[in-house]
């Protein structure tokens, strides 16, 4: 694919190098269009070496080849990272003051932008209105994340991590069509857990998490499409178990769905289903703790006073227990895959957390990703690394959750 990466003048421009690199390593041809201000933060030679192409900045270069419109016309996708408040304002106003502005106006390609600025600028009424204008025009906005900013301060405005930007951007252009079943998992019995557990406090309240179940459902659908017999154990799914193709929804029809609510219900369901499974994939976000007791009637502030103290008790670690009990329960050949969603954004530290986790859990593979307020949960894209039990990276995938599901299943099929 022909991807234009626009870089505007913010300190997060140094991270745009990794956005360019990820697209190139994924086999795409990348043209960088950087503003003059962007080149104060990151060097042209760096961008040329990483993109393997000349970097374009000047509106008055390449006039004979009508470059100010040619780059945009040839693009299949445009990604601007970072997108400063000033750039967002120009885009909302339709200005073509520089090469990037011209490129965007001259292009029919999907546009994805990753804002980066200080919290006050992000929350400024002008920026809020401009972002709303961009959204109404169908421009895709990734982030910003909440986290450390350039100075000592932190808050909303940190640019999303490069992997997340790349995953979200590729998810925008991937065709929504369902690939034909490869059949490489025919006869395999696969149990997938998905969603997020809810631990009740009283009849109307619970402690929950933000997992939507999208990645687990994508795994179940992809496995069924490849011929596996799938049991999906869904905890409070926010998505339909459907591949979206309507009447011919064959992969969804071949999935047995069991609905659960709490961690203990999920534990019972997956422990029973695992007895007959070749593979167990624990994609669900399982609560580590539950209230020690559940009130029979609604808890009232009138009787509770100013402070409500909760005692939480630890839930069983299902993934650990399933892995530990494998040989004792005649499941010796079973493959168990865990997931780790971490808020750590430093790639090395994230990897270290993943390695410690797979050692602790005892499963065969761990799918590791970084999540935050705006990333990971409930989004359509994902970016993961897959670790084996030795802690080595045996796979990486980014793109839509369906693409990520298929890369995980490729590993299983192999
Ligand atoms: O320990 P942590 O929650 O980070 O580990 C995530 C992985 O462990 C996921 O695969 C999740 O399904 C599983 N898990 C579990 N039982 C728990 C907590 C998490 O099986 N109580």
Return the minimum-mean-pLDDT range out of 220-234, 266-280, 340-354.
340-354
How confident is the model over 112-125, as pLDDT tens digits?
Answer: 999 999 999 999 99
Contact 57, 99 (CB under 8 A): yes
Q: Which of 200, 188, 288 is nearest to 231 (CA)?
A: 188
Give the full edge-to-edge strand order of the sheet including 393-400: 255-260, 229-235, 189-195, 279-282, 335-342, 365-370, 381-388, 393-400
> Is 338 touching ligand 1 by the criterion CB < 6 Å?
yes
Ligand 1 atom showing the smallest separation from residue 338 Cα? 10
Give the mutation target among 260, 286, 365 for probing the ligand 1 site: most ligand atoms within 8 A of CB. 286
Neighbours of 358 (CB within 10 A): 23
Rounded distance from Cα 319 to ligand 1 centre (Å): 6
Contacts of 162 (CB under 8 A, 6+ apart): 15, 16, 18, 19, 21, 22, 81
Q: Give the residue, by CA position, lying nearest to ligand 1 atom 6.
A: 340
How confident is the model over 25-60, as pLDDT tens digits?
Answer: 888 999 999 999 999 999 999 999 999 999 999 888
Rounded distance from Cα 313 to ligand 1 centre (Å): 15
Q: Is residue 375's pLDDT more than 70?
A: no
Question: Tokens in use for 93?
Answer: 């106003």
**Range list of β-strands (E), 292-334:** 312-314
* Banded model confidence at residue 243, pLDDT cuts 50, 70, 90: low
Rounded distance from Cα 258 to ligand 1 centre (Å): 19
pLDDT the model gives residue 59: 84
Q: Which member of 209, 236, 315, 382 is catalytic?
A: 209
pLDDT the model gives residue 60: 84
Give the mutation target among 215, 264, 269, 317 for probing the ligand 1 site: most ligand atoms within 8 A of CB. 317
Write out the residue limits of the CATH 3.40.50.10300 domain(s) in the chain: 189-413
pLDDT the model gives residue 299: 95
Ligand 1 atom showing the smallest separation from residue 319 Cα? 20
> Is 367 touching ligand 1 by the criterion CB < 6 Å?
no
Q: What is the mean pLDDT of residues 309-320?
A: 97
DSSP state of 74: T
Question: Tokens in use for 190?
Answer: 């696969």
Rounded to whole angstroms, the Cα distance separating 233 from 191 reads: 7
Rounded to whole angstroms, the Cα distance separating 162 from 317 reads: 32
Whether the CA torsion 21, 102, 1, 172 is positive or negative: it is: positive
The number of C-alpha atoms within 13 Å of 25 and in the hemisphere containing its C-beta is 12
Find where tokens 């990604």 sit. Answer: 79
**287's torsion region: left (phi>0), alpha (psi -120 to 50) or beta?**
beta
Ligand 1 atom showing the smallest separation from residue 320 Cα? 20
pLDDT the model gives residue 5: 98
How confident is the model over 315-330, as pLDDT tens digits?
Answer: 999 999 999 999 788 7
Rounded to whole angstroms, the Cα distance separating 233 from 194 reads: 6
By three-state DSSP, how is residue 119 classified? helix
Write out the residue limits of the CATH 3.40.50.1950 domain(s) in the chain: 2-172
**94's torsion region: left (phi>0), alpha (psi -120 to 50) or beta?**
left
Question: Tokens in use for 381?
Answer: 């894209």
For the chain, helix (H) and strand (E) counts, in that order, are: 15, 19
> Is 233 touching ligand 1 by the criterion CB < 6 Å?
no
The hierarchical CATH code for the domain 189-413 is 3.40.50.10300
Q: Could you please state the CATH topology (level 3) that the domain comprising 2-172 is classified under.
A: Rossmann fold (3.40.50)
> Is 243 touching ligand 1 by the criterion CB < 6 Å?
no
pLDDT the model gives residue 382: 84
**Range list of β-strands (E), 249-334:** 255-260, 279-282, 289-291, 312-314
209 is catalytic: yes
Rounded to whole angstroms, the Cα distance separating 5 from 22 reads: 11
Rounded to whole angstroms, the Cα distance separating 55 from 29 reads: 13
Rounded to whole angstroms, the Cα distance separating 318 from 254 reads: 26
């Amino acid at each position: 694919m022909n991807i234009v990466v626009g870089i505007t003048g913010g300190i997060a421009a140094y991270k745009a190098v990794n956005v360019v690199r990820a697209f190139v390593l994924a086999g795409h041809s990348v043209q960088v269009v950087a503003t003059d201000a962007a080149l104060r933060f990151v060097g042209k030679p760096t961008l040329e070496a990483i993109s393997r192409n000349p970097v374009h900045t000047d509106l008055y270069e390449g006039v004979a080849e009508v470059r100010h419109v040619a780059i945009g016309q040839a693009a299949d996708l445009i990604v601007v990272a970072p997108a400063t408040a000033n750039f967002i304002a120009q885009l909302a106003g339709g200005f073509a003051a520089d090469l990037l502005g011209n490129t965007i106006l001259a292009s029919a390609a999907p546009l994805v932008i990753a804002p980066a600025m200080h919290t006050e600028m992000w929350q400024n009424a002008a920026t809020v209105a401009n972002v709303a204008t961009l959204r109404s025009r169908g421009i895709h906005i990734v982030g910003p994340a909440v986290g450390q900013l350039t100075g000592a301060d932190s808050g909303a405005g940190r640019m999303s991590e490069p992997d997340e930007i790349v995953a979200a951007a590729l998810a925008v252009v991937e065709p929504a069509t369902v690939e034909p079943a490869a059949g490489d998992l025919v006869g395999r019995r696969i149990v997938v857990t998905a969603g997020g557990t809810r631990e009740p406090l009283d009849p109307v309240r619970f402690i929950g998490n933000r997992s939507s179940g999208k990645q687990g459902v994508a795994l179940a659908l992809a496995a069924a499409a490849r011929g596996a017999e799938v049991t999906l154990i869904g905890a409070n799914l926010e998505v339909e178990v459907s591949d979206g193709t309507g009447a011919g929804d064959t992969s969804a029809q071949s999935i047995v769905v069991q609905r659960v609510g709490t961690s203990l219900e999920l534990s019972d369901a997956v422990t029973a289903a695992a007895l007959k499974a070749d593979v167990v994939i624990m994609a669900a976000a399982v609560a580590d703790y539950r209230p020690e007791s559940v009130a029979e009637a609604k808890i009232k502030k009138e009787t509770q006073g100013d402070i409500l103290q909760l005692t939480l008790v630890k839930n069983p670690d299902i993934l650990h227990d399933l892995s530990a009990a494998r040989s004792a329960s005649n499941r010796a050949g079973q493959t168990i895959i865990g997931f780790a969603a971490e808020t750590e954004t430093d790639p090395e530290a994230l990897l270290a957390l993943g390695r410690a986790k797979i050692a602790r859990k005892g499963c065969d593979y761990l799918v590791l990703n970084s999540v935050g307020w705006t990333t990971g949960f409930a989004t359509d894209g994902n970016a993961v690394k897959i670790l084996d039990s030795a802690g080595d990276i045996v796979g990486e995938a980014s793109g839509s959750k369906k693409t990520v599901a298929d890369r995980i299943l490729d590993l299983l099929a192999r």
